[in-house]
Each structure stands twice: as structure tokens, then as C-alpha cells.
Structure 1
């Protein structure tokens, strides 16, 4: 079975057991490790693999071919993207007309940023520059861009680059809506046995929780020189009960984000029933 997900610790933690043949009855995985901007593109190309980790922001474009699975993704509280600058400021109006780097134009981080900026940045920001997320902080530090939208372990490492927090978009979203923050989704082709795939992923998640040390070597191998402490903090932040089961609270948060974005013309409108439907028809 072909699958694509990022080399980030939360994804390698979730899929370690399945990737290493530790889930009884699960097929062997043919894995592509790719940045979220690449997997988002694969999801909407019509030529993507069987299973994908994508941004929730890209989901509206993928739902014709793929179904959202109720497990394996990243959704929670206190885990949102950050807006960072080189100079210390808590005034978002300073971003008016500025150059901002983002990890993907169809990332949830960028979607949250656009919703936030429509409220907080009069006149809007200037140029948006898409770059791999690990290049964003050095670019802000070196003055190549004015601000950076960062995700993942950057929450823990941005002070090492001499950067400052302008806004925590997760905190803004939670205060504005009192809902969870939907970040990354697992999707599978509607033509497949979605119940089976859901079961294999849940077993893989549970195995990771039951045997946390077994996956360390695999996680660190793909973690781009990240320390074990940062990798573990990353996992603790993004792998939670909603990774095992989205539940009604998770689906409500996802639909609220996409519906609000659709109302502002940022994504196609999504039908709630189609969002939850996991059958091939």
C-alpha cells in the first residue's frame, strides 16, 4: 500500500509499527517521506498514493477522491502555528505590506494565518513566500523576509534563532471559537476498505503508546538532526486522544474551520455529511 507522510516525529511515531510490519494483517507500506506542501499537492493532483497525511486546509480539494479518516492526524489544543519576527513586537499591524514566509499555500497554518490577518492586519500583508518549514526561521533571522509562519518543533526552538513571537494562532483560534485546532489529516482513497485502514492506523498508534522506546531510532533518523528531547516534546504536543479518534468534537472543529474559511472565499464549501462519510459511495 502506498502512503505519504512527513518525516516529522509525530508522523513517524504514529506509523512506525505499521511501517515495520508490526501490525497483524496490515499490508506492507511503500512510504514516501515528504514535506506537507508536497503531500497537499499530491492529494489534489488525482495521482496521489493510497493514504496521505495532508493539511486540513487542503481537504476541500481532495474530498472527491479521498475520505477523511477519523484517526492518525494532528488536532488538539495549545499546538497551533506561530508568527515569528526578528524584532520583538506584539503589534500585528506591523505586518501590513510585509513579506511573510509560509510552509504551504494550502497548509492549515496558512489558512489560520489568513483568517487571523483579516482581523488583525489592516490593509493585509504584502508578499507571501512559500518555503519548506525548516528554512523559514533562518530566513527570518537573516532578514530575507519580515516574518515567518512556523509549525511543528519550531514552537520549541525559535528562541535559538534569536526570534520573537508575534502571535500564537492556535491561542487566537481557541479564544475566538473555543474549539480544537485542526492541523493535519489522514486521508485514504474512497475506493479502498476504509474501515480496515482505520483499524491498522489505530493499532499502530496504540502500539506506539504501548512501546514508546521502540520507535526512537526510526523517529530520530528522519528528524533532521533534532534532539530526542525536542522530538519527544513534538510527539507529546501533536499525538493525543484525537489521534486515535477524532470524535464529534474533532469533526466539529474541522468543519468549523473549513466552513469559516469557505465563507471568506478561501476554500471550496464542504458538506458536513460528506466530510464524515467514509464509504466508497
Structure 2
């Protein structure tokens, strides 16, 4: 069976056992590493592996052909995307200063972008100017060097942005949680509807449980793909993004997904969906 997920520590930690044949009864899995913006488009175009990690924000475009797998993904609290600006510039702490400005985002079909657009509608009069899509690891250098006015960052950037001379303008996660009381839906695992999803859910859930029970087993695999991330930052990444929602989406998880996609549809940011298709 073919699967695609990112090289980020939370994904390699979660899927280490599945990728290495350590889950009894599971078939061999062939892994493709790809940025989530790539897998979002693969899913929308019915390309790539049968099982993919995508952004929850991309679900409305793919639910006809793919089912949401309620484990293995990333939801949580205190783990939202950040809006960053250069330290010391005029208006750095005032969202209104972003009106008409150039802002980098990692994907237009990402939860980060949806949260940003929903936040901006409340906080940036007239909205931002140009939205520039670029790989997430290029955003902080671009803001630091003055090529962009602000950047929306994800992943380990929340731990490393001060080293780039950047400062936090807004935490999309804190805003979302205070506004809704719900966790943030970030990355979803989806599978072709033709697959035996019950077995797949069982294999993924057992891979999550194996990772927790044997945290050192995946260490080399995680660091090999962690893009020169330090071991401490990689572990902080895992601690933040791998939690009980990774084992089981649960009612709070489904409620978070429904709230995000429902709001985004009302703002015209995603196509409306039948929420029953999520389950």
C-alpha cells in the first residue's frame, strides 16, 4: 500500500512503525515524503498514493473520492500558526498595520490560511494586500530580509522564529481557541474510498500507540528526515502535534473540523460540504 506524508517529526514519529513493518497484520507500506501543499493537490487531482496526509482545509475538494481517517492526523491546542513580522518595525504589534501589505502563506489550501483569513476579516481593515504562497521554510528568511511585510508560519517555526529577528503579531491558535473553545484541525489522514478503511484505521492507531510505547525506536528515522532540526526542537514538535486527537479524532475533533469548514464555507473560502461525509 502506498502512503504519502511529510518529513516533519510528528508524521515520521506516528508512521515509523507502519513504515517499518512493525504492525502485525498490516501490509508493506511504500512511503513518499511530500510537503502538505503537494499532497493537497495530489488528492484534488486523484494523483499519488491511496493514503495521504493533507490539510483539513483541503477536505472540501476531495471528500467525494477520499474518506477522512479519524486517527493519525494533527489537531490540538496551543499549536496554531503564527503571524510574524520583523522586530522593531513600525506597527509590528498592530494587525491593522497589515492592511494592503504583502503577506506570505504556506498554502492557499491549508488550515493555517483559513484561520488567517478568518482572523484577518476581524482584525485587518480592508484586508491584506497581496498573498504570496511559498514553501513554509522560506517564509521566515523572506520576512527577515524585508522582501515581505509579514509571514504566516507553521510547524517548528513557532519554536525558532526569534532567531530570525522576528516577532509575534498574532497566534491563530489562541485566537481560534478563544473564539470557539475548540482545538485546531491541522493535518488530516485520508484514504481512497475503495480501501478497507476499518483495517487501515486499526493499523494507523496501532502505529500511534507503538510510537508512544517505544519513543526511542523512531528517533533515528525522525532525525534523518527532520531537515537539520535539532533533536530538542524535533521532540518539541512531536510533543505539540502528537496527542490524543492523533489516536482518535473524537467528538471534539469532529466538532472542530465542522466549525472550521462551516465558517470557511460561509466566507466563500471553501466549497460547502455535507458534514455527514466527514464520518
In structure 1, the residue matched to 2:54 is 54
Q: What is the TM-score normalised by the length of structure 2?
A: 0.98
Cα distance, 1:271 vs. partner?
Answer: 1.2
Q: Which residue of 1 aligns with 2:254?
A: 251
Alignment length (residue pairs):
276
Q: Deviations over 1:58-94 (max 9, x none)?
A: 0000101000010000001100000000134221001
Moved >4 Å (runs of 4+): none
2:113 is the counterpart of 1:103: no
Query: How many angstroms apart in 2 are the aligned matches of 1:78 and 1:168?
Result: 9
Give SS of 2:170's match: strand
SS at match of 2:191: strand
Q: Distance in 2 between matches of 1:92 and 1:167?
A: 8
SS of residue matched to 2:71: coil
* Aligned-pair Cα RMSD in Å: 0.7
Counterpart CA distance in 1 for 2:206 and 2:251 is 21
1:242-281 to structure 2, matched below 5 A, reads: 242-276=245-279
Partner of 2:23: 23
Matched with 1:279 is: none
Distance 2:14 2:273 in 1: 27
Structure 2: which 5+ residue stretches go unaligned? none
1:199 to 202, 218, 222: 202
Distance 2:211 2:111 in 1: 25
Q: What is the TM-score when the length of structure 1 is the normalising length?
A: 0.97
In the alignment, does 2:146 pair up with 1:143? yes
Distance in 2 (alpha carbons) for counterparts of 1:33 and 1:131:
18
By how many angstroms is 1:187 displaced? Answer: 0.4
Output the CA distance in 2 between the equivalents of 1:97 and 1:222: 37
Q: How far 1:48 moved relative to its partner? A: 3.0
- Report the alpha carbon displacement of residue 29 of structure 1 after superposing the two structures with TM: 1.3
Q: Distance in 2 between matches of 1:274 and 1:4?
A: 22
